[in-house]
Amino acid sequence: MVCQGADHDFNYGFYQLVVDLIPSGSRILNLGSGIVFNFERLLSEQKKVYISSCDIVPPANKPCFINDFIVQSVEEEIKFNKGGFDVVTFFELIEHIDKTDVLLRNCHTLLKDDGRLIFSFPNLASVYARVELLLGFQPHILEVSNERSDLGTGFFGRLNCSWGTVPLHHIRGITYKAMRGLLSYHGFFAERIVGFSSRFWKIFKLCPSLAPVVLMVCRKKSYARKSNS
């Protein structure tokens, strides 16, 4: 069995963006965490927080900086500490799963009323994907096979897929606009949106709708209504 999420070795600046948004004393839940815990490790080194992680594969040895590990699919209702988290996170997870609505309902239920949802996803409307489609290639972030990741991607697949032809099970292609619509449908609004790329971060962070990866910081709509009343 493989993890639902991924053990990402992201650019330090990417995770640092998230860590900077999390105040000390927070209770954190990272969904689809994998079992290497790069994000949790960085967070624990800089902030005094209570960290819970969740994936379908448990670690052989839980690190001391992980307070709780929940062995469960994010595509099933998570009943652990409902309404008890200040921050819920997931990174490059939603494109791997079928039941995206269950994932976001879990996030909404698990968060405190004033909590934040912070997550990232590969953008199907990125400038790279647009060029790939214009030239007749399959966008390299969206796979058509469970056995090879590079089918139809041509030069772009060889350039961008450093992992070779091993499939990552990217079954969802989500554009920037579609994600905003999905968030709204599930009772969230985007408080901050940042574009990310390992190559041209300074450019894409100012233009998230065209960025290869989008980081969203969200609140519950109910929080906004209470704040404005």
* Distance of alpha carbon 43 from alpha carbon 38, whole angstroms: 9
> Does residue 84 fall inside a structural domain?
yes
> Does residue 179 fall inside a structural domain?
yes
Which residue is it, tokens 């839980």? 62
> Does residue 138 fall inside a structural domain?
no
Question: The whole model's pTM is what?
Answer: 0.92
pLDDT mean values, one per 10 residues, the chain (229 residues) = 64 85 98 93 97 94 96 96 96 96 98 98 97 95 91 83 78 97 98 89 88 97 76
* Distance of alpha carbon 29 from alpha carbon 117, whole angstroms: 10
H-assigned helices in 111-200: 127-134, 154-160, 176-185
Identify which of 71, 108, 96, 114 has the alpha carbon closest to the alpha carbon of residue 174. 96
> Does residue 37 fall inside a structural domain?
yes
pLDDT in the model for residue 8:
58
> Does residue 142 fall inside a structural domain?
no
pLDDT in the model for residue 7:
57
Domain that holds residue 198: 12-123+174-228
Question: What CATH number is given to the structural domain containing 77?
Answer: 3.40.50.150
Residue pair 65/75 in contact (Cβ under 8 Å)? The answer is: no
User: What total number of domains does the chain contain?
Assistant: 1
> Does residue 85 fall inside a structural domain?
yes
> Does residue 157 fall inside a structural domain?
no
